[in-house]
Chain A
């Protein structure tokens, strides 16, 4: 596996047939609408990867076409309506999204949006998610982007499809479209004449380019958007139907397990395989350099063989991990790239500054944290006829396909990645690596479907962790109790080592012709990586902010829910509390006097009100803390108030939490609450329980005993979430919005209770 010339890999994309009958509309059937002068989009020069789009075509698979900056959401990259929606002659509707269901409820929200704008029942829609032969390439399901990107695309595509269908009925009946109404997929005239979408679409096409503007349903007439529709996937999950990739059973499927090295970079010196080969059910032992795996007929046979093989393997270890006790001091001393974050927002640009009368400084730290999925990673792969099919819970089927094609030296169009749900991932966990395992092993037993299930220690020891981080803040107050200046520094590794290239797939590091991870790059603001949310939303006259991006990665790290926003919001919101105390002002009042954005003010007031902040009772050993952030300074607003109890032994328990969130128009308010509740509990666990343990050679957090997380005994008595009502406002990603504010609110509450900060 040398000669990895990526140029040799075909960029063509299979135009595999989607299941739905492709319906056709005449391109000219639709009156021009939208902003005057908007591009009418003559067919863009078809890049090679759009292949035969046109006669056969649909805009489904393939890389982005030309970016159309005036189109909303992911329509920019996939402007054809039939990339998103297809309707067959029976009226059955298929909805396509490049985003994946991760347990966040995205399938349900997208179906609600499509059903709303198409004026049909949700049950008449079948949704197809992330699949490299069927859906648009929307990259990773990450960064709280699904509603902003895919949700916005589907909202507009569905509204435009409905208008096209109405227009067709109007032409057929020679009536003005305004004289028609549509309900349940049936267009009705005042005379009572009715016609269904299925009849209208015959011999026509939705293969038309989206317009920049859509006739969206007025928010006041919404039937589905804004309604807490029950999640579509929950009944299957709670009755034991086969819904997870772990449940997939293909004909003749066999089971594999990997013998992982004892530490990063270890080399397999020798392994005695003969005895293992004779164990019951063993089909194959796969060895490629230091990569070692076993295939067996039944799952527990594979586990028994893996354990025997592990005992028979001899390794040379070489990892050198930092001294965990001194990690934060070391972090600040490692070589780093310096990135100035505030150069365009510095002195004078944010209002007049008065002389400083008091200066404070503080340091904030975050240890390495795990994704710690409850179900270890899993994948199923089949290699046959020179092609590979992989069922995976990866967050990005298209990037994974590119990486697997490089790993196996296959043309991209010979690799088909299909998303199937897994255990919640919360970022880049072992999903992609498990897919690489399945691919490598499937190639060794061609024709057979291979299911690879990681063991618990595989996930704990080999997943990429959320990186350890350090922040230092120095701030000054003026005589009027306002912030006069603010200087912020943050140290961090990258927050993304996703594939990318095959070198970012961990199994590739151990092959005889091994691949090295790609050099890390910082993710620029406004998204940001270690610097996500490093700039406060507050009005500060003199602002300095610097990101020390550390390329050296002794522990494997990557994207963990909210990336650097977890530490940065924790630091900013903890320091705001310090400044408020120093200024002698209530911490909420102090925040409000530095905020201009009315939506920020609204969520802060709403959380304070729900919590009962004003006039709250003071009890010994019980403290109250508050925090606020707008995720990435451009997505959802979240404010959280926490009541925490500190017992005489210093043990902290969150007793209650009240949060308010503004995510623009909330499509499914209960889905929003579920995400925020979950975010609060997960971030509580990170803050109060978690830190990846390691010695100078090994990760030592290998199971739930050595990496404890939140348990039922730790869970608050109540969590309340107020969801702002913002009809018609753009969707703002919210899935990660609670992580930073929760950490700060807890620590502020503990400080309040105990008079100490942690």
Chain B
């Protein structure tokens, strides 16, 4: 058994400790936000936050995450109470198929918590690990800038806190 802290809740996990976090989130915990894209840490679709760091959940075994606070897309908010980053992405309509976007939102969340007013170059650099095939990049960049402005006007906190 491994104890994980996911979106402020403590959960006991009976999966093999070598199982990458992604499969535990999606399978055992029923959290759909993180996506399987490559299983190789090459595309960013599986990104979640561990502590304050954006990580690839597809290549991070749960054994490496005991005791670290994990935040997934679901931890940012809900449809009726979206978090700052979610609201900004929705307002910019920053998605087509949307499959890659949650990973980018988690990367943006981690960036804004560390650097509330990133430059455009800093946003691009932060998003460098992420691929999008539909070509939503311009909207994603706009959405992160919008989230940055909104966060500075209000609060960028994750809506679910431990």
Contact = CB atoms under 8 A, between A and B. Distances in A.
A712 B100 CA distance: 13
Contact of A376 (B32, B36, B79): B36
B128 interface: yes
A247 B27 CA distance: 9
Contacts of B43: 374, 704
Contacts of A243: 32
A476 B35 CA distance: 54
A244 B26 CA distance: 12
Nearest to B61: A300
A387 interface: no
Contact of B96 (A105, A230, A456): A105
Interface residues of A, number: 64
Interface in B3-47: 15-16, 19-20, 23, 26-28, 30-33, 35-40, 42-43, 45
Contacts of B130: 711-712
A602 interface: no
Interface in B68-110: 72-74, 76-79, 82, 86, 89-90, 93, 95-102, 105
Contacts of B20: 300
Interface stretch (A7-15, A56-64, A340-348, A679-687): A679-687
Given A236-B79, A704-B40, A103 B97 contact: yes
B27 A234 contact: no
Given A237-B101, A239-B79, A712-B124, A374 B138 contact: no
Interface in A675-699: 675, 677-682, 685
A255 B27 CA distance: 10
B99 A375 contact: yes
B150 interface: no
Nearest to B133: A374
Given A300-B15, A678-B134, A715-B137, A239 B77 contact: yes
Nearest to A373: B133
A104 B133 CA distance: 13
B121 to A, nearest CB: 10
Interface stretch (A118-126, A357-365, A419-427, A501-509): A419-427
Contacts of A681: 135, 137-138
A39 to B, nearest CB: 41
Contacts of A237: 95, 98, 101-102
B134 A300 contact: no
Contact of B74 (A239, A679, A719): A239
A238 B98 contact: yes
Contact of B131 (A371, A376, A711): A711
Interface string A100-120: 001111000000000000000
A705 interface: yes
Interface string A445-461: 00000000101100000
A440 interface: no
A683 to B, nearest CB: 9
Q: Which of A105, A230, A280, A712 has the most CB of B within 10 A?
A: A712
Contacts of B95: 103, 231, 234, 237-238
Interface string A722-750: 00000000000000000000000000000
Contacts of B52: none
Given A103-B96, A103-B98, A704-B43, A679 B79 contact: no
B98 A234 contact: yes
Nearest to B73: A240
Given A238-B102, A244-B99, A704-B42, A103 B86 contact: no
A374 B32 contact: no
Most buried by B among A102, A105, A234, A298: A234
B117 interface: no
Contact of B90 (A238, A240, A300, A456): A238
A612 B108 CA distance: 34
Contacts, number: 181
Contacts of A614: none
A670 B94 CA distance: 11
A74 to B, nearest CB: 24
A102 to B, nearest CB: 7
A241 B99 contact: no
A246 interface: yes
B78 A239 contact: yes
A685 to B, nearest CB: 8
Contacts of A104: 96
Interface in B115-137: 124-125, 127-128, 130-137
A679 B100 CA distance: 17
B93 A238 contact: no
Contact of B99 (A424, A453, A685): A424
A374 B16 contact: no
From B15, B20, B105, B133, residue with most partner A Cβ within 10 Å: B133
Interface in A23-66: none
- Band of interface residues on B: 35 or more
Contacts of B28: 298
Contacts of A670: 93
B131 A374 contact: yes
A211 to B, nearest CB: 36
Question: Interface centre among A237, A240, A455, A711, by most B CB within 10 Å?
Answer: A240
A417 to B, nearest CB: 20
Interface in A193-244: 230-231, 233-244
A418 interface: no
B30 A249 contact: yes
B69 to A, nearest CB: 18
A372 interface: yes
A280 B40 CA distance: 23
A719 B90 CA distance: 19
B47 to A, nearest CB: 12
B38 A242 contact: no
Contacts of B73: 238-240
Contacts of B23: 298-300, 303
A678 to B, nearest CB: 3
A240 B133 contact: no
A239 B40 contact: no
A441 to B, nearest CB: 18
B82 A247 contact: no
B141 interface: yes
A456 B37 contact: yes
Contact of B105 (A238, A376, A680): A238
A246 B93 CA distance: 22
A298 B15 contact: yes
Interface in A146-197: none
B139 interface: yes
A709 B130 CA distance: 11
A256 B51 CA distance: 33
A527 interface: no
A251 interface: no
A105 B95 CA distance: 10
Interface string A699-720: 0000111000111110110110
| Residue from B36, B86, B90, B105 whose CB has the most chain A CB atoms within 10 Å | B36
A336 interface: no
A241 B74 CA distance: 8
B15 to A, nearest CB: 7
Nearest to A425: B97
B131 A422 contact: no
CB-CB nearest 5 A-B residue pairs: A103-B97, A681-B135, A678-B135, A240-B33, A237-B98
Interface of B: 15-16, 19-20, 23, 26-28, 30-33, 35-40, 42-43, 45, 72-74, 76-79, 82, 86, 89-90, 93, 95-102, 105, 124-125, 127-128, 130-139, 141
7 contacts: A103-B96, A237-B95, A240-B74, A299-B27, A674-B136, A681-B138, A711-B128
Given A246-B32, A374-B97, A677-B139, 15 more contacts: A234-B95, A238-B86, A239-B33, A244-B32, A280-B16, A374-B45, A423-B97, A424-B133, A455-B39, A456-B38, A682-B134, A709-B131, A709-B133, A712-B128, A719-B138
